[in-house]
Amino acid sequence: MNHPKRLFSLAPMVLLGITSAFFQEPVSDKEDLERIKQIQARHEKELMKLPAVLGVGIGSDHGRYVFQVLVDKTARKKPRLPAEIEGVPVKVFLTGPIVAQPAIQKGRSKKSSQCP
C-alpha cells in the first residue's frame, strides 16, 4: 500500500540514515508541513549559530513532525536546545563532522568519488 504522505515525510529521514521512520505512521497534512517549514525558517539561523549544531531539518516521530537538529558528537561544548520550538518537538541527532564531497564528474563512476 503506497502512502504519498509517508514517502514525502521520509525523504529527509532517509538522507539522514534514520531507518526507524519506515515503521511510523504518516505525518499530518501538507498544510501542517508548510506551517512547520515557516517555523523552521524563523529559527534556523539562530539554531545554526549554536556551538556544534551542524544542521536543522524536518522529520517525523510517531506520526508527528519534529525538528531534527544535527549536533557534532565530537564537540566539547554541546548546545542547549529547547524541547520544542513553537510547539514543534526538537529531536537531537549526534553525528560526526559533516564534510562536503566533490561533485561527481561526467564519465567517473560514483564509487570513485565516495569516501573510503
d(CA 7, CA 4): 5
What's the whole-number mean pLDDT along residues 46-53? 94
Residue 10 has pLDDT above 60, yes or no: no
pLDDT digits (tens, 9 = 90+) for 57-107: 999 998 899 999 999 999 999 999 999 999 999 999 999 878 888 887 776
Whole-prediction pTM value?
0.63
Do residues 56 and 67 lie in contact, with contact meaning Cβ atoms separated by under 8 Å?
yes
User: 15 pLDDT exceeds 80?
Assistant: no
Rounded (to 5) percent helix, strand, coil in the chain: 35, 25, 40
pLDDT of residue 98: 82
Burial of 65 (0-12, 13-18, 19+ CB in 10 A): buried
pLDDT on residue 114: 47
More confident residue, 68 or 115: 68
Kindly tell me if the per-residue pLDDT of 113 is higher than 50: no
CATH number of 25-96: 3.30.300
- State CA 84 to chain mean position distance: 15
What is the predicted pLDDT for the residue at 110? 54
Q: Mean pLDDT score of the chain, rounded to an integer?
A: 76
